[in-house]
Amino acid sequence: AAYDLHEADTVRDTHPDNAKLIKKGWHVDWAVAQPDYAAEYPEKLAMAVFVKGEIAVLALKGTNPGSMSDVHLDASSIVGGVPPCGPLLLAAAKVQEYQANGKSVMVTGHSLGGYMAEVVATNCQISGVGFCAPGSGWHAGKAHAGFQNVNFQHDLAGNVGAGVFEHPQWSVYRSEERRVGKECRSRW
């Protein structure tokens, strides 16, 4: 649902994935859209906080190939090694804010969002899961038993720089995939 922040200022109730979350009792409590492009390193990565009861999940948007800001973040941080300070500081401030309000905070993301979820989780020592993401290398903090990476064995983008951009904890690798329409989904 956080991918809706590519086209909108917030995650819309009408977004199909968000509509499913709403039916299960979740709501978007806070969101920030990402700029289309920034000449300097982007200070923001699109993210939203979904809340249900005492749980807050910080969802970080992954790469949208149509977003030059996303492509810039990928090239700068994942390939070029520039620390993602702006997005990390914003995410860490939100984690602290929700924890101060008594919420148990988790983090998640896919692709670029999964990379950032690992950076946030290992630096803030919170739980969560990242999907199809390259390792955060030296941008990561200490391994955290509550955070897990899930990648496909043959995911070229998620496994880019394997051995260089390492994950601080062991990853779970799925070897099987099945194609459903234009999307690729794993057999869970």
Predicted local distance difference test score (pLDDT) of residue 38: 61
Q: How far apart are CA 179 and CA 184, in angstroms?
A: 5
**Comparison of pLDDT for 124 and 136, the residue scoring more:** 124
The closest of 145, 158, 152, 154 to 185, measured between CA atoms, is 152
Quote the CA–CA distance of 78 and 134 in Å, as a whole number.
Answer: 8
pTM given for the model: 0.87
- Give the residue-averaged pLDDT of 133-148: 89
Residue ranges with strand state E in the chain: 27-32, 47-52, 55-60, 104-110, 127-131, 147-152, 171-174, 178-180, 183-185
Q: Is 25 left (phi over 0), alpha (psi -120 to 50) or beta?
A: left
Mean pLDDT, range 160-178, rounded to an integer: 70
Residue percentage of the chain with pLDDT more than 90 = 52
Pairing of strands 104-110, 55-60: parallel
| Most confident option among 3-7, 37-41, 55-59, 184-188 | 55-59
More confident call, 65 vs 21: 21
Task: Please state the rounded mean pLDDT for residues 143-164.
Answer: 76
- Interior angle at CA 125, CA 134 and CA 92, nearest 5: 85
